[in-house]
Amino acid sequence: MSALLIEMSLLLSVTMVAAAILATRGRQSLAIAILAAGLVSLLASVQYLLLAAPDVAMTEAAIGSGLTTFLFFFVLGRVRGGERD
C-alpha cells in the first residue's frame, strides 16, 4: 500500500466510526439509523477495495449497502402502522 491508500483508509475509518455512532444513537427516526448503517456498509466496501479485494468489495456493496438498505426500508414502510411516532 502506498501512503495515499493508507491515508484514504484512515479517513474512511474515522467516517465509519462517526456513522456507526449516528446509527446507534437514540432519539431519532429509524430511517436515519438505517441510512447511517448503509453508509457504514458502503465505506466498509471501500475499505475492502483498498485492501486489494475487488470481488469482496463488489459483493459487500451490492448486498450490504444495496439490498439490506432496500429491505429495511421496505419492512419499515410495512410496519409503520404499529410504530408510535
Binding site for another protein (CB under 8 A): 2, 4-5, 7-8, 11, 15, 18-19, 22, 29, 31-32, 35-36, 38-39, 42-43, 45-46, 49-50, 52, 54, 57-58, 61-62, 65-66, 69-70, 73-74, 76-78, 80
Q: Which is nearer to another protein, 4 or 84 (CB)?
A: 4
At 10, list the grid cell: 484512515
DSSP 4-57: HHHHHHHHHHHHHHHHHHHHH-SSS-HHHHHHHHHHHHHHHHHHHHHTT-HHHH
Q: Please state the closest distance from residue 22 (CB atom) to another protein, in A.
A: 6
Q: Please state the closest distance from residue 15 (CB atom) to another protein, in A.
A: 5
Q: Please state the closest distance from residue 58 (CB atom) to another protein, in A.
A: 5
Residue that has been written with the C-alpha cell 419492512 in this structure:
75
Compute the distance between CA of residue 39 and CA of residue 44 in angstroms, rounded to an integer: 8
